[in-house]
Amino acid sequence: MNVIKKRIKIAVAASAALLMLVYLYKTLMTSPTVLIAANSVEEQRHWPPTEHAEQRKLQNAYEAQTALLHQQRQEMFRTKEQLAQLEEQVRSLQASTPRKYPKVKYLNYKNRKRILITGGAGFVGSHLVDYLMIQGHEVIVVDNFFTGRKRNVAHWLGHENFELIHHDIVNPLFIEIDEIYHLASPASPPHYMYNPVKTIKTNTMGTINVLGLAKRVMAKVLIASTSEVYGDPTVHPQPETYWGHVNPIGPRACYDEGKRVSETLSYAYAKQEKVQVRVARIFNTYGPRMHMNDGRVVSNFILQALRNETITVYGNGKQTRSFQYVSDLVDGMIALMASNYTQPVNLGNPVEQTIEEFAHIIKQLVGGVSEVKKIKAMEDDPQRRKPDITRAKRILNWEPNVPLETGLLKTISYFRNELARSDRFQENSRKYFESPDMERQLT
């Protein structure tokens, strides 16, 4: 009985397969392609000999071209496979080849510190990273890359003493460290005015998180404050004892008042929770790795001069600023962190210059045909800004050492290279989008 059932099943399967083959045959024979081919063959029988020969030549040429295209496609696929293999080999070689890092000191575990730098991928933070790494410490950078750039610290990626964490300090952070440099905050007017609420959060909630972390692990913390806490000062030069003259609802208030609250929080934690705090009031700083379009005086003037554009001075140009080179600032922060002094300390250059004078200095150093032009003044633009660094000299034995011209030449060289890099990128992008292959893709 079972044998009969099996034979019936086999017969049914065979019948189904035969029906399927018949159906496929009929479908193929009635398809437009087959009919056209059949008709063409039938027509060829009635062609005169000359026409038949010409059609045969065309057919042969078409078949040869098709074969060539097929061969080229096969070669292209093989080339792509070889390129993929080469790329994989290059990646493996890069991973296995030790990278060359700047030479660092060796410190034993007693002297080596784990140091956290919030905003460490930014302009000032990245220079501080370089100094601490070369000194032999372990450095952990925390940055949300709002204004910071990974390229600023890329030369340390992979080093055993370096760690980069993509994190917004507005959210709590749990990590074991010995010292904290809290530099996280937009610092140029276009950046902190772009998102004033975020700026306030970074300088309040971010500072609370940093101080809370310092409390938990008993770490020393340096708060990067600013000369903006003095606002548009009525006292000149500005000592640390001056309380400031700030508009609490002006366009700069998100940054000015945010930093003032940051200082208040620091001393509240110091008094109530016994956190070791240091407060650096940083004045105008310049140097390589500045954002080209951050809206600051130095970057604006250098870019305009390099592009032979008009150098624009806001207002009458008589307002004053004092500029320190970034390496001087880093030395000052290191000295302040190492000290036992807990009150705010001004870190800036006491050499004062008007904005108009500074524009002409930049023009002279860069060269070119740029003209200096005065335009409408900005709201709440401080008219005078000059630090009194008596406290820094007395307590830290610190003062700026880099001459203005020396620092500006280094900064101009950096900006010139950045512009050339940007121009190359734009030119390559233009060539790519204007290429025939890209045009065919877009059409």
Pick the CATH number of 114-426 from 3.30.420.40, 2.40.50.140, 3.40.50.300, 3.40.50.720: 3.40.50.720
Please name which of 433, 441, 344, 436 lies closest in space to residue 391, comparing C-alpha atoms. 344
Instruction: Give, for 182, the enclosing helix (H) or strand (E).
Output: strand 179-182
pLDDT of residue 12: 57
pLDDT of residue 89: 74
Strands (E), 315-383: 320-321, 324-325, 345-347, 353-354, 372-375
pLDDT of residue 95: 62
- pLDDT by residue (tens digit) across 274-303? 999 999 999 999 999 998 877 788 999 999
Q: Residues 314, 378: contact at Cβ < 8 Å? A: yes
Q: Is the dihedral of CA 184, 190, 196, 200 positive or negative?
A: positive
- pLDDT by residue (tens digit) across 395-411? 999 999 999 999 999 99
Reply yes or no on whether the pLDDT at 24 is more than 60: no
Least confident of 5-19, 84-98, 168-182, 347-361: 5-19
Sequence-distant (6+) residues with CB within 8 A of 227 are 238, 281, 282, 283, 284, 346, 348, 385, 387
Domain spans, the chain: 114-426
Reply yes or no on whether the pLDDT at 9 is more than 70: no
Angle value at C-alpha 280, between 276 and 281, nearest 5 degrees: 145
- pLDDT by residue (tens digit) across 37-91? 445 445 555 555 566 677 777 777 778 888 888 888 888 778 778 777 777 777 6
101 is catalytic: no
Angle value at C-alpha 42, between 37 and 45, nearest 5 degrees: 130
How far is residue 67 CA from its own chain's centroid? 50
Reply yes or no on whether the pLDDT at 5 is more than 70: no
- pLDDT by residue (tens digit) across 115-168? 999 999 999 999 999 999 999 999 999 999 999 999 999 999 999 999 999 999
Phi then psi for residue 179, to 5 deg, are -140, 155
> Which among 255, 269, 286, 325 is annotated as catalytic?
255
* Average of per-residue pLDDT across 377-387: 81
| Full DSSP string of 401-425 | -S-HHHHHHHHHHHHHHHHHHHHHH
pLDDT of residue 262: 97
